[in-house]
Every structure is written in structure tokens, then in C-alpha cells.
């Protein structure tokens, strides 16, 4: 059993109408920059609620942060902050806006010439700006963790980074904000959270039973509430459970002290890179392949997953696993998500390119480093 530290200082304000409470969290004398994305918050009423809540503050807004937030865009916010001395950030959006805001918070007081080095070379920074968030799309968990992914447009790099200074001071989780979410985005969020849990759960056993059961709790809730939420994201009970699940899926709780896989994510990123398939959809494609090829290593946990998450009690271990994999794919399908490469017109040529790139990088993925390029080939071929 590995030792671990667990420390998550983000304050969560959960429920209908909670956007109004941000004024209790942001110091009154702050000069606030509100960051957001493409403008959907101006249509669904969230922007107006934020505006009302910030009444009395000196504040300004910065829109246009992309779905995969770009360094170049974020640096424009950094310049604006430096020029006008904003001292508090409020991210209003999904994972991309919150991720981008984390980079902005880190870069503002960075003293080096090239803030990209914060990400690329883990360059040290101090005095990150404090920030809060209003979550509009449950999926990535960024609202309660200290990590982010940012893309450098000029160099075509998409890289993750993280720092304990980058926990949001607070995050508002109001499930009513998802009411007008396009069903595709709702579905993507559920699958993203689901696979976040799987990456921290479907591994060898190192003795932390509670973390396993917590992970199963999130999976069961996503399975129970996901389809209703997909059909109608204005259903409060479903939306509330999905929102809390997606936060808990990646806030450090279920991953404390346990081995983690993340190979499905790494392979999925390549599919996005080559074909611009939505992140969550790449995960739904790859996951059954990972389970097929790595079945021997993951056997014990796959059986536990079949029994505890899907309540499969009959049959041999192999049969239980088969049923669980099938039910998982059916769950993705019930969310309108297709799970084969052919559904996205991805052929063998792409598989070849991905395997080649992974070979060049000499990647050994997974909780035990066993997902080598030859395994990646088998995983993707199984998903043709």
C-alpha cells in the first residue's frame, strides 16, 4: 500500500441559485477578470447571474477561450491583467475555460521571458492569482483539482501541467446551468467522468478497499443517472448527481494511494490529434480494447467491476467480464456515443501512424508500464 498525501482546499458551493454566493467568496476590494469561452453563457442566463453577483465589484470580462485553450489566447488575458492590475480571476465555463484560467493565474506573476516554460519545463512560478470558477459543463473535474491542459498553437504542443497553487479558491456547481446543454456535450461529460474513474480503478489491487468502493459508487451513479441526464439535462436530480460525480471523479479522492492506468487517455489523445474526435468519444472507442488486450493483468478487478458495478452474479469469471464489457459499451451507446473506429471513419493507416509515433517516443503506458506500442496496435485493431 503506497503512502499518499491528500489535500483539496477548494470550497464547493453546490445547488440551485448558488452563483449569487460568489460575492461572499471574492474579497470586496478585488478587481476581477471574468474569463469565459464562446459566449453560450450569454444565451443561457449564466452571464447575467454572474453579473448580478458581481454588482459592486470592479470587474471586466475576457471571452474567447477555446475548447482546447490556446497559449496565445491566454497570454492576451495575461497582458490585460498586467496592464490593468486585476487581482482575482473568475472562470465561467467548462473544463477548458477553467484550465485556461489556471494557466493565466500562474503566468501573470511569472518572471521569466517565456511563460510557456511553466508548462513545458515545469518552470517555477510564485504568487499565482487567486481564482474561483462557475462550472457550466460537468466533465473534466478541473473545478476541484489543480491540473490543466493547454495547447501551444505555434508549436502544436498540447501538454498537461499542475501545481498546488492552482486549486480554485471556490467553485460554484449549480446543476440548473446544464439545462440547455446540447445532448452531445452532456453525453461527453458523463463518459469523460466515467473513464476518469476507470483509469484510477481498473488496476491491480494494492489493498485500499475504500478507494475501490468509492470509485464503484461514482460508476454506479453515472450509469444510473447518465441516460436520464443525456435525454434531459434540465432534470435536476440527474444533473445534480452527474455534476457531483464528475467533480469527485478527478479531485484526488479515489486516486489516493492507488495505482493509476491512464493508457486509454493517452491513446485517445492521439485519435483526437489525428482526427479531431471529441475527447470523451475517443475514450469510449479505446476502453473496451484496453480491457481486451490487458485482460490478464486486470482480470481480478474486471471481475469485481462486473459483480459490484453491474451486479453480474452468474457465470464463470470470463463470462462475467464479457458481460461487463458488453454492458459498458451499451451504456456508451445509450448516451448516443459510438464506440468503433469505423464509426468515425478511422482506418488502419491511422492506427499505423499512432503506433509509429508511440514507438518513436518509446512510450510504456499503464499502471505497470506494460502498454507498449505493440499492445497499442492490438488495442486499436480490436476497435476497428
Residue 210 interacts with its own copies (CB under 8 A): yes or no:
yes
Q: Per rule CB under 8 A, is residue 256 in the interface with its own copies? A: yes
Pick out residues in 1-20 that bind its own copies (CB under 8 A). 1-18
CB-based contact 26:91 (threshold 8 Å): no
Using the contact rule CB under 8 A, the part of the chain among 35-43, 51-59, 179-187, 244-252 near its own copies is: 244-252
Indicate which single residue of 23, 165, 217, 323 sits in contact with its own copies (rule: CB under 8 A).
217
Of 53, 55, 56, residue with least CA distance to 21 = 53
* C-alpha distance from residue 351 to each of 277, 280, 378 (Å): 14, 18, 10
Residue where the block lists cell 473545478: 143
Q: How far apart are CA 148 and CA 154, in angstroms?
A: 19
User: Contact between 245 and its own copies (CB under 8 A)?
Assistant: yes
Which phi and psi angles does 132 have, rounded to 5°? Answer: -120, 175
CB of 321 to its own copies, least distance (A): 20
Burial code (b: 16+ CB inside 10 Å, e: under 16) for 281-301 equals: bbbbbbbbbbbebbeebbeeb
Query: Of the ranges 66-74, 209-217, 290-298, 322-330, which one interacts with its own copies (CB under 8 A)?
Result: 209-217
Q: Which stretch binds its own copies (CB under 8 A): 38-46, 133-141, 233-241, 345-353?
A: 233-241
Instruction: Name which position in 59, 103, 214, 229 contacts its own copies (CB under 8 A).
Output: 214
Contact 321, 306 (CB under 8 A): yes
Binding its own copies (rule: CB under 8 A), the pick from 76, 147, 163, 236 is 236
Q: Which is nearer to its own copies, 236 or 262 (CB)?
A: 236
- Minimal distance in Å, beta carbon 146 to its own copies? 13
Asked if 302 is part of the footprint of its own copies (rule: CB under 8 A), the reply reads no
Binding-site member from 120, 220, 327, 364 for its own copies (CB under 8 A): 220
Stretch that binds its own copies, among 51-59, 180-188, 236-244, 358-366 (CB under 8 A): 236-244
Candidate residues 99, 143, 192, 216; the one interacting with its own copies per rule CB under 8 A: 216
- Provide the 10 A C-beta neighbour count for residue 349: 9
Q: Within a 13 Å sphere around the CA of 324, how many CA atoms are in the beta-carbon half?
A: 30
Is residue 314 involved in binding its own copies (CB under 8 A)? no
> Smallest Cα–Cα separation from 337: which of 268, 260, 270, 254?
268
Minimum distance of its own copies from residue 238's CB (angstroms): 9
Judged by CB under 8 A, how many residues of this single chain contact its own copies?
Answer: 41
| The three three-digit cell numbers of residue 160, written as one number | 498537461
Task: Write out the DSSP string of 114-145.
Answer: -THHHHHS------PPPEEEEESS-SS-GGGS
Taking CB under 8 A as the binding criterion, the range among 89-97, 115-123, 251-259, 360-368 that sits at the site for its own copies is 251-259
Mark the segment that binds its own copies (CB under 8 A) among 54-62, 84-92, 130-138, 245-253.
Answer: 245-253
- The answer to whether 241 contacts its own copies (rule: CB under 8 A) is yes
Q: Could you tell me if 365 and 263 are in contact, meaning their C-beta atoms sit under 8 angstroms apart? A: yes
Residue 34's contacts (CB-CB under 8 Å, 6 or more residues apart) are: 50, 54, 59, 60, 61, 62, 89, 90, 92
Nearer to its own copies, 178 or 339 (CB): 178
Q: Residue 365: which of 255, 258, 261 has the closest Cα?
A: 261
Query: Site residues for its own copies, window 112-171 (CB under 8 A)?
Result: none
Sole binder of its own copies in the list 102, 196, 225, 301 (CB under 8 A): 225
Contact between 64 and its own copies by CB under 8 A: the answer reads: no
Give the phi and the psi of residue 128 in degrees, each rounded to 5. Answer: -60, 145
Chain residues binding its own copies by CB under 8 A are 1-18, 207-210, 213-214, 216-218, 220-221, 224-225, 236-237, 240-241, 244-245, 248, 253, 256-257
Amino acid at each position: 500500500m503506497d503512502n499518499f498525501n491528500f489535500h483539496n482546499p477548494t470550497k464547493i458551493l453546490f445547488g440551485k441559485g448558488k452563483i449569487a454566493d460568489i460575492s461572499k467568496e471574492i474579497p470586496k476590494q478585488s478587481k476581477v477578470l471574468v474569463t469565459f469561452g464562446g459566449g453560450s453563457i450569454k444565451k443561457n442566463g449564466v452571464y447575467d447571474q454572474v453579473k448580478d453577483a458581481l454588482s459592486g465589484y470592479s470587474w471586466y470580462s475576457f471571452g474567447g477561450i477555446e475548447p482546447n485553450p490556446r497559449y496565445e489566447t491566454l497570454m492576451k488575458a495575461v497582458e490585460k491583467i498586467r496592464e490593468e492590475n486585476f487581482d482575482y480571476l473568475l472562470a465561467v465555463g467548462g473544463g477548458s475555460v477553467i484550465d485556461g484560467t489556471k494557466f493565466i493565474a500562474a503566468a501573470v506573476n511569472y518572471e521569466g521571458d517565456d511563460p510557456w516554460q511553466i508548462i513545458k519545463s515545469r518552470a517555477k512560478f510564485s504568487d499565482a492569482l487567486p481564482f474561483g470558477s462557475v462550472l457550466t459543463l460537468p466533465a473534466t473535474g478541473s473545478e476541484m483539482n489543480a491540473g490543466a491542459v493547454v495547447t501551444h498553437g505555434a508549436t502544436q504542443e498540447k501538454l498537461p501541467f499542475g501545481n498546488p497553487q492552482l486549486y480554485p479558491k471556490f467553485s460554484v456547481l449549480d446543476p440548473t446551468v446544464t439545462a440547455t446543454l446540447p445532448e452531445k456535450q452532456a453525453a461527453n461529460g458523463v463518459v469523460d467522468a466515467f473513464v476518469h474513474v476507470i483509469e484510477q480503478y481498473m488496476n491491480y489491487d494494492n489493498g485500499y478497499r475504500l478507494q475501490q468502493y468509492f470509485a464503484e459508487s461514482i460508476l454506479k451513479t453515472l450509469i444510473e443517472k447518465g441516460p436520464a441526464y443525456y435525454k434531459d439535462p434540465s432534470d435536476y436530480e440527474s444533473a445534480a448527481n452527474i455534476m457531483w460525480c464528475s467533480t469527485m471523479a478527478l479531485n484526488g479522492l479515489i486516486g489516493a494511494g492507488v495505482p493509476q492506468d491512464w493508457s486509454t487517455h493517452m491513446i485517445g489523445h492521439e485519435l483526437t490529434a489525428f482526427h479531431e474526435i471529441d475527447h470523451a468519444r475517443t475514450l469510449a472507442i479505446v476502453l473496451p480494447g484496453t480491457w481486451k488486450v490487458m485482460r490478464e493483468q486486470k482480470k481480478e478487478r474486471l471481475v469485481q467491476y462486473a459483480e459490484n458495478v453491474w451486479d453480474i452474479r452468474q457465470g464463470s469469471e470470463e463470462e462475467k467480464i464479457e458481460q461487463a464489457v458488453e454492458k459498458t459499451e451499451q451504456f456508451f451507446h445509450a448516451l448516443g456515443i459510438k464506440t468503433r473506429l469505423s464509426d468515425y471513419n478511422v482506418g488502419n493507416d491511422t492506427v499505423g501512424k499512432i503506433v509509429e509515433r508511440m514507438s518513436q517516443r518509446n512510450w510504456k503506458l499503464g499502471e505497470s508500464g506494460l502498454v507498449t506500442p505493440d499492445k497499442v496496435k492490438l488495442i486499436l485493431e480490436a476497435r476497428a
